[in-house]
Structure 1
């Protein structure tokens, strides 16, 4: 009787050498792919950082621009001291027109009578947003404001062209004394601005060379020296500010803002801000 031998079943698979070769080849391919992908990924993150910096710079300049455009005429002051630019202004809350004794009307109370400022006056048209404690500014003229200090007779910072509101009526305002009555009463455009008592003067500071914080100071009174409460507008900032054309009747303030983040990424944004100096 012949016995049959059982068939030997062999197992198939990868050898160690084949497995190592596959791993090496896969690593080479992955390295080659990573080289091309890395450039695209780095470019993406660079663009994200630049976009974030650009947005931050744009928001900062928009905020500054809004307050400069709404500032009391001829209240803009720019200085550079200790490597820091200071941009000082007095933003307005609202404005209106007052009754003038020469407007041909016999009714109501004008701002001036016989060349003297009255203690109260009527506002023409809708009553502006004003509260007791706010300030009224009249005729802050560029020709009367040659520079900082209180030599100018009608400088808003010195009080010559502003007075505190002591009472508000339906169509009238009662105010304190306007120091320069002769100048105020010669003003023919009959406009006045209202300054919020909780803000008053505002100063933006920005480093000129070394990156640091751009800050906003407010509620420190009517002064060109910043104080009061401060808030950081944006970090990593350096600025160049040119106000050589800002003091014309329709002037321009030039601000070049550079932002740098921790990675060294930087953007530079330029803004030309219109300054209306017509009182």
Structure 2
């Protein structure tokens, strides 16, 4: 006769209920923990986006404050936004009149290849150019070059720290500066905001030319921000060309979550007194 005292295996009803209850408690606790964790990482992502956008805008602001008066240009082409300007490294005042019959003045009647600096000496690097009275007018536009008599930009022919500036010139400069100012132009800078690729790029060191809606050829470039979903550049020259205002708006998004984005607005004053 078979024995009926075999060991039994499996769960009792009480054990099953206890498992369900414990699993529910763990689920509630996990849900309560996940949401704050998601919020924490969302905050980190937004902080990273804000930091990237702020760094890019501050870099642009530092550059734009050094722009040659009346040299800021804005161009738009399709999904691309362009901001150009001529970057200066310094400047000073030129001698406009003789001092007791002595001194080297900057002559605007005839071609002149040198002039005295009034005040501290200026530092000129290889490739720098001298600009007097850039007015953003035909014949007085620094982007046009230095090959014709009406162009205001002249190549510096002597580098170093100098109290007398030498320039390459076969024609007189077209306009005097009301305050006898001159600026030292180092290069043209272009910021390109490409919404197709989502990138903000700084270009520099390419040949100076009238700004156009295109990617510069030559020079160097540096990526300032990626994940750009919106951007705008606007420029108000200001009353009587004395000052201008550049407004930059930049929106960055997280690639993994396009709805997670930040938008920063920055305004930069530029001097337009020639």
TM (norm. structure 2) is 0.82
Higher CA-based Rg: 1
Alignment counterpart, residue 62 of structure 1, candidates 40, 51, 58:
58
1:173-215 C-alpha deviation (Å, 9 max, x unpaired): 11012755242xx32211111122xxx111101135x561111
- 1:50 and 2:46 are equivalent in the alignment: yes
In 2: Cα distance, 1:52 partner to 1:125 partner: 45
5 Å-filtered alignment, 1:84-99, equals 84-99=80-95
Q: 1:42 to 1:105 in 2, by over 3 A?
A: farther
1:136-182 C-alpha deviation (Å, 9 max, x unpaired): 111112xxx25xxxxx1110001211111112474111101275524
Q: Which runs of 5 or more structure 2 residues have no equivalent in the other structure? A: 1-9, 146-150
TM (norm. structure 1) is 0.81
Offset of residue 47 of structure 1: 0.7
Q: 2:184 — aligned with what?
A: 194
In 2: Cα distance, 1:180 partner to 1:153 partner: 12
Q: 2:119 — aligned with what?
A: 125
Alignment counterpart, residue 276 of structure 1, candidates 255, 265, 271:
271
Q: Which runs of 5 or more structure 1 residues have no equivalent in the other structure? A: 1-14, 147-151
- 1:213 and 2:199 are equivalent in the alignment: yes
Let me know the Cα RMSD of the aligned residues: 2.3
Structure with the higher strand share, 1 or 2: 2
In 2: Cα distance, 1:91 partner to 1:54 partner: 27
SS of equivalent residue, structure 1 residue 215: strand
Is the Cα–Cα contact under 8 Å of residues 130 and 155 in structure 2 kept in the other structure?
Answer: yes
In 1: Cα distance, 2:91 partner to 2:168 partner: 18
Is the Cα–Cα contact under 8 Å of residues 67 and 91 in structure 1 kept in the other structure?
Answer: yes
Q: 1:276 to 1:39 in 2, by over 3 A?
A: same
5 Å-filtered alignment, 1:203-242, equals 203-207=190-194, 210=196, 212-223=198-209, 224-225=211-212, 226-228=216-218, 229-237=220-228, 238-242=230-234
Offset of residue 219 of structure 1: 1.0
**Number of aligned residue pairs:** 249
Deviates more, 1:90-99 or 1:67-76: 90-99
Q: 1:60 to 1:37 in 2, by over 3 A?
A: same
Deviates more, 1:265-274 or 1:239-248: 239-248
In 1: Cα distance, 2:224 partner to 2:55 partner: 9
Q: 2:29 — aligned with what?
A: 33
- 1:110 and 2:105 are equivalent in the alignment: yes
